[in-house]
Structure 1
Amino acid sequence: MTTTVKMWNGCRSYTWSTGTPDKCFYQDLQAFVLRPYGYTGAIDGVMGNGSWKALQRMLNAGGWNAGTVDGVPGYQTKTALQRMLRAHSYKGAIDGVLGAGTYKAWANYVLGAQN
């Protein structure tokens, strides 16, 4: 079976393999994951207040307890993201530090959300 990966405007991210977030990763996140959770901003690859609010809504809707939807990527938001990713492919610590392992798992989650 062949999986078709959608790309926002033809931009291809390699975050899934490098663990380093790039503009294309954030564009895909905004376009394919955050839109259903109220993100209405530009698909510009910048994780601003609106992107973080949508992510917090998504995490809270899934029961991951990101706390108050305030658009601030604090410890509670980051650990909620890591707990959600642990349910998918993340194997690292739940420590609120968004390192390479977190970004690789997050990128794989975004890839899965596109299909």
Structure 2
Amino acid sequence: MRTLTRTLVGATAVAGIVVGSLAGASSGFAATEAATKPATTPAASAEAVSPLAVDNHGLSTGEARNVQCWLMDDWGYPGPLNGQLDTESWKAMQRFLQANWGYPGPINGIPGVGTDRALLLFLTADYGYPGPIDGIWGPRATVSFKKFAAWCARSC
């Protein structure tokens, strides 16, 4: 009985390995065939792709809208006033930071370390951010950014 059980378990294991190998082989062949065929048209051109992410840096929609009003009035933000700090909002913010707070990077609408460093410098000078000026956004930076957003409400 014991020998029969071992034989049955062994045969089941071998059958499982064989079936798994065949299943893996078929998907492997399909992937290889697809990879060797040239693409007829690209999915999208590099020029057509732009960042669409929203990064409110901890602001509520209403607070972000206040900032957008100020950016629209003074820094060329084209709208809409929707409370979503998107690419166009950050481009306007980068223009402000470049003109006044030493932002050295491109006007690309992506709030990276350089954008955050210049924004932190501004918030330190005028809105009570206690530092450090390291380009890393944290809760204390958000508190100061909220103070700035409250000041921006005058523009709406």
Say whether the fold is shared (TM-score over 0.5). yes
Residues 39 and 75 (structure 1), Cα distance of their counterparts in 2 relative to 1, 3 Å cut: same
Distance 1:64 1:103 in 2: 20
Query: Which digits, 9 at most, give the CA deviation of each residue in 1:50-109, with x for residues without a partner?
Result: 000000001112133252111111110011100111112110322222222111111212
User: Secondary structure at 2:136's aligned position in 1?
Assistant: coil
Q: Deviations over 1:11-64 (max 9, x none)?
A: xxxxxxxx9421111111101x21110101211111111000000001112133
Identity over aligned pairs, percent: 30
Gaps of at least 5 residues in structure 2 are: 1-56
Which residue of 1 is the match for residue 71 of structure 2? 34
TM-score by length of 1: 0.74
Which amino acid in the other structure matches residue 110 of structure 2? V
Which of 63, 69, 87 is equivalent to 1:49?
87
More helix by share: 2
SS of match in other structure, 1:87: helix
2:150, 2:90 → 1: CA distance? 19
- Specify the alignment match of 2:132 in structure 1: 93
Tell which structure's C-alpha radius of gyration is larger: 2
Q: Which stretches of structure 1, 4 residues or longer, exceed 3 Å deviation after superposition?
A: none
Q: Could you list the runs of 5+ residues in structure 1 that have no partner in the other structure? A: 1-18
Query: Normalising by the residue count of structure 2, what TM-score does the alignment of the two structures yield?
Result: 0.56
Instruction: Indicate which of 96, 103, 108 corresponds to 1:65.
Output: 103
Distance in 2 separating the partners of 1:93 and 1:114: 27
Alignment of 1:25 onto 2:46: no
User: Partners in 2 of 1:21 and 1:111 — Cα distance?
Assistant: 10
Which fold has the larger relative contact order, with Cα–Cα distance below 8 Å and residues 6 or more apart in sequence?
Answer: 1
Aligned residues: 96
